[in-house]
A and B are shown apart, each in its own frame.
Chain A
Amino acid sequence: MNSASSSTAFMLLLRRDLILAFRRRSELLNPLLFFVLVTAMFPLGIGADPVLLKAIAQGVIWVAALLASLLSLDAMFRSDFEDGSLEQYLLSAHPVSILVLAKVLAHWLVTGLPLLIIAPLLGVLLDLPVDSIKVLMLTLALGTPVLSLIGSIGVALTVGLRRGGMILSLLVLPLYVPVLIFAANAVETAAAGLPITAHLSMLSGLLVLALSLSPLATAASLRVSLS
């Protein structure tokens, strides 16, 4: 293990997590199903008026994506915590933040990317125009990794707790606010025919910030949780 470089460790861990995820394919579908279901509840709750639906579509889809990513967070470190491999990561010679980044990336590929792929379908259901759907996908591509990265801090803090689920949402949802604002507004602004460069720049900025800082916080949190 010591002779391997950190990038090898990163790739190995990523590969392992992806293989584990694809061995349990039915679990892969659950967040996706949840995403579709929550979105489908809104027309049932507020009425099927197409004008109204079009006006709230981007917010509904984004909030549903937020909740779907929140619910899938708990699985990020859970099994590793239970079988003890999380402790092995902390003991290994590689920087924990690199290993954390591999786990977050694997988690995003398994839970965030599918949301991105199914989002156009939901956009059509809620009567979004094609241009808005493109922007929606762009914001999801930039935004959902940030959700996974910020969420990883919350999961790392609550992984040792027996009933961490509720606390996790309390910790993580307030931190999701900026992503939600910039992403949902980008779709709305694009629908009004205005440029969205500023929104996308802000989202990319958030992504870079989360990418560089959150693995450090997650690594520190894991050390605390396992101490």
Chain B
Amino acid sequence: MISRWFHQLGSPRYFYRFSGRLIPWLAVPCAVLMVAGLYQGLVVAPPDYQQGESYRIMFVHVPSAWMSLFIYMVMAGAGAIALIWHMKLAEVIAISSAHIGASFTFLALITGSIWGKPMWGTWWVWDARLTSELILLFLYLGVIALHNAIDDKRTAARATAILSIVGVVNIPIIHYSVEWWNTLHQGPTVTKFDAPSIDYRMLIPLLLMAVAFKLYYAVVVLMRARCELLERERNTLWVSELAESK
């Protein structure tokens, strides 16, 4: 039963109809959670005893940083599925994820930079976490550039799948080498803030925003995948039927 559903989901036509019905069910909770999280974070949560009001950018910054890694894993996972089972849908999900993941990584870097200016007095420090996030952005951009450079979409999908799997093997190595490099150069910096001692009035909006970002990603990746599918399948019968019925 489940495996049959899984096979059906692999068919672009079925996926297109299914995801069209699924998107509202994800978008509405996403909007509700995001409004609630922003209200809790920007209005209800108390100001930080050290950082004052400016810490509130955390409610965007931290979930973006979490998403940046999460989406890379999804992309590589989808890439592996595409390589092994030659599943068109996984190819589409992988490349759609690359663009969204790059945006989240960029957002995490920008918000971190804006947060860093009043806190550390500088837009950028070569801190381990910042550096590995920057390298993650380059990995995303490499995947996107490779995908754009190859004309045939299916070849492009397989090539980027290999690249993102190579990236997954490398991400922990890069992360720990950068961390090691940083600790060799300078001691613990101001960047470390105590995660366990976070106030629950700050933790709740943070978690709300994290879930809202996850849902946002799900909605956007489905929308992008639908668009990409229509483009790829434009010569098939079901797409032309779809166009005629509208």
| Chain A residues, Cβ within 8 Å of B181 | 181, 185
> In the bound complex, how far is the Cα of B144 from the Cα of A170, in angstroms?
10
Among residues 174 to 199 in chain B, which have CB atoms less than 8 Å away from a CB atom of chain A? 174, 177-178, 180-181, 184
The 8 Å CB contact of A224, one of B142, B158, B166, is B158
**In this assembly, does A91 line the interface, its C-beta being within 8 Å of a C-beta of chain B?**
no
Query: Shortest Cβ distance from B123 into chain A, in angstroms?
Result: 22
> When A158-B146, A161-B150, A171-B146 are in contact, do A177 and B155 touch as well, CB less than 8 Å?
no
> In the bound complex, how far is the Cα of B163 from the Cα of A221, in angstroms?
9
**In this assembly, does B212 line the interface, its C-beta being within 8 Å of a C-beta of chain A?**
no
The 8 Å CB contact of B155, one of A167, A174, A220, A227, is A227
- The number of chain A residues touching the other chain, given as a range, is 20 to 34
Would you call B145 and A178 a contact (CB within 8 A)?
Answer: no
Would you call A178 and B174 a contact (CB within 8 A)?
Answer: yes
Would you call A213 and B162 a contact (CB within 8 A)?
Answer: no
| Chain A residues, Cβ within 8 Å of B150 | 160-161
Would you call A175 and B177 a contact (CB within 8 A)?
Answer: no
Residue on B with the closest CB to A162?
A: B149
Query: Shortest Cβ distance from A100 into chain B, in angstroms?
Result: 13
| Chain B residues, Cβ within 8 Å of A174 | 135, 138-139, 142, 170, 174
- The number of chain B residues touching the other chain, given as a range, is 20 to 34
| Chain A residues, Cβ within 8 Å of B62 | none
> When A177-B174, A178-B177, A181-B178 are in contact, do A171 and B163 touch as well, CB less than 8 Å?
yes
> When A170-B138, A175-B170, A185-B184 are in contact, do A224 and B162 touch as well, CB less than 8 Å?
yes
Question: How would residues 113 to 146 of chain B score, 1 for a CB under 8 Å from any chain A CB and 0 otherwise?
Answer: 0000000000000000000000100110110011
| Chain A residues, Cβ within 8 Å of B169 | 213
| Chain B residues, Cβ within 8 Å of A217 | 162, 165-166
| Chain B residues, Cβ within 8 Å of A225 | 155, 159
Would you call A170 and B173 a contact (CB within 8 A)?
Answer: no
**In this assembly, does A200 line the interface, its C-beta being within 8 Å of a C-beta of chain B?**
no
**In this assembly, does A53 line the interface, its C-beta being within 8 Å of a C-beta of chain B?**
no
Residue on B with the closest CB to A170?
A: B142
Would you call B177 and A158 a contact (CB within 8 A)?
Answer: no
The 8 Å CB contact of A167, one of B149, B162, B177, is B149
| Chain A residues, Cβ within 8 Å of B162 | 153, 157, 217, 220-221, 224
Would you call A164 and B159 a contact (CB within 8 A)?
Answer: no
> In the bound complex, how far is the Cα of B166 from the Cα of A161, in angstroms?
20
| Chain A residues, Cβ within 8 Å of B165 | 217
> In the bound complex, how far is the Cα of B137 from the Cα of A170, in angstroms?
11
Question: How would residues 176 to 210 of chain A score, 1 for a CB under 8 Å from any chain B CB and 0 otherwise?
Answer: 01100110010001000000000000100010010
Would you call A164 and B177 a contact (CB within 8 A)?
Answer: no
Interface centre among A157, A202, A206 (most CB of B within 10 A): A157
| Chain B residues, Cβ within 8 Å of A153 | 162-163, 166
**In this assembly, does A173 line the interface, its C-beta being within 8 Å of a C-beta of chain B?**
yes
Name B's A-contacting residues (CB within 8 A): 83, 135, 138-139, 141-142, 145-146, 149-150, 155, 158-159, 162-163, 165-167, 169-170, 173-174, 177-178, 180-181, 184
**A-B contacts, 10 listed (Cβ < 8 Å):** A157-B162, A157-B163, A161-B149, A171-B146, A174-B139, A175-B167, A178-B173, A181-B177, A181-B181, A225-B159
